[in-house]
Amino acid sequence: MPKLAEKPSPSKAIEIRPVAGALGAEISGVDLSEDLSDETIADIRQALLNNLVIFFRDQDITPDQHLAFAKRFGDTVEYPLIKGLEGYPEIMTVVKLENEKLNFGGLWHSDTTYLEKPPMGSILVARELPPRGGDTIFANMHLAYEMLSDGMKKLLEPLKGVSVSNLPKVTATRDERARVSGKAAPETILTATHPVVRTHPETGRKLLYVNGGHTLRFEGMSDEESAPLLEYLFEHQTRPEFTCRFVWKPGSIAFWDNRCTQHLPVNDYHGFKRVMHRITLAGDRPG
């Protein structure tokens, strides 16, 4: 009697475990070094939309595999101010050396909102970690908007924020990297204007779209006139109940939706080296 062909085993479903009440989930049951099925990629994308930032543990991926995984979610783009990894211009090395005091991007921010089309998201891979410290905190900008009063929402709805690439508090965090591997002239200033209240293009949820790293003022207002309200919003949008904290370990990966989150890399590991690789995904014009 001929042997019956074995039925292919069903693909293993990924496991999604929320890490905090506000946002964030760890995903297990998947090996990112593999060529994942379209179904698995769709599940990961939905997990990102549901949780805003997703984390993977115990992954061992090469730069080529990092790039291949990222491209399953959209087009990759180069960071506009710093050169990428040699041979991989789309992979940016985020590093703090033992002798440095400031860490790259070491303040609350959304990535590169000074671009006309800011990134959809970023995928960050841990390459070398300090023995302790160096966590990253993420904040949910949907909650930041939803917890505002109706009066504040009405005030903010018509406003637009002007983002720039040269706020002193953020340029100080990238001076060393720009000196070593900058690809734009030091005097280059990138600027873009976006709605203060943005609608997420995939979920339709509204969110607060200003950030302390890049938003300088409101369109049609001076810096001085804008400052009091912006400072209130910057403090409000990073309230502890809007956040989650990720403790990096060897093999950790974080993938965040840059459209509706902010993040803060904690600078508490002086005297130690921390090296990460980041790939950025192209976004659209905020609306």
For 212-247, the pLDDT digits (tens) are 999 999 999 999 999 999 999 999 999 999 999 999
CB–CB of 23/138 below 8 Å? yes
Q: Which residue has the higher pLDDT, 179 or 246?
A: 246
For 28-45, the pLDDT digits (tens) are 999 999 999 999 999 999
Is 72 labeled as catalytic in the residue annotation? no
Question: How many other β-carbons are positioned within 10 Å of the β-carbon of residue 229?
Answer: 18
Strands of the sheet with 243-246, listed across from one edge? 243-246, 136-140, 261-265
Is 194 labeled as catalytic in the residue annotation? no
137 confidence band (pLDDT: 50, 70, 90):
very high
Please report, in angstroms and rounded to a whole number, the separation of the first and last CA atoms in the chain: 65
Residue 9, pLDDT score: 33
Residue 222 carries which DSSP code? -
CB-based burial label for 113 (10 Å; 0-12, 13-18, 19+): buried
CB–CB of 216/224 below 8 Å? no
How far, in whole angstroms, is CA 265 from its chain's centroid? 11
CA distance 246 to 239: 16
Q: Hunting for tokens 């070593």 — which residue is that?
A: 180
Q: Where are the domains of the chain?
A: 17-281
* pLDDT beyond 60 at 67: yes
* pLDDT beyond 70 at 187: no
Of these residues, 43, 111, 177, 259, which one is catalytic? 111
pTM of the model: 0.91
* pLDDT beyond 70 at 99: yes
Of these residues, 142, 177, 259, 263, which one is catalytic? 263
Of these residues, 66, 109, 142, 217, which one is catalytic? 109
CB–CB of 165/114 below 8 Å? yes
Is 35 labeled as catalytic in the residue annotation? no
Mean pLDDT of 121-143: 98
11 confidence band (pLDDT: 50, 70, 90):
very low
What CATH class does 17-281 carry?
alpha beta
3-class secondary-structure state, position 56: strand
Residue 267, pLDDT score: 97
181 confidence band (pLDDT: 50, 70, 90):
low
CA distance 11 to 51: 23
- Of 104-108, 138-142, 258-262, least confident by mean pLDDT is 104-108
Tell me how far apart the 2 most distant CA atoms of the chain are, in Å: 86
**Element housing 164 (H / E):** strand 160-164
Is 142 labeled as catalytic in the residue annotation? no
3-class secondary-structure state, position 251: coil
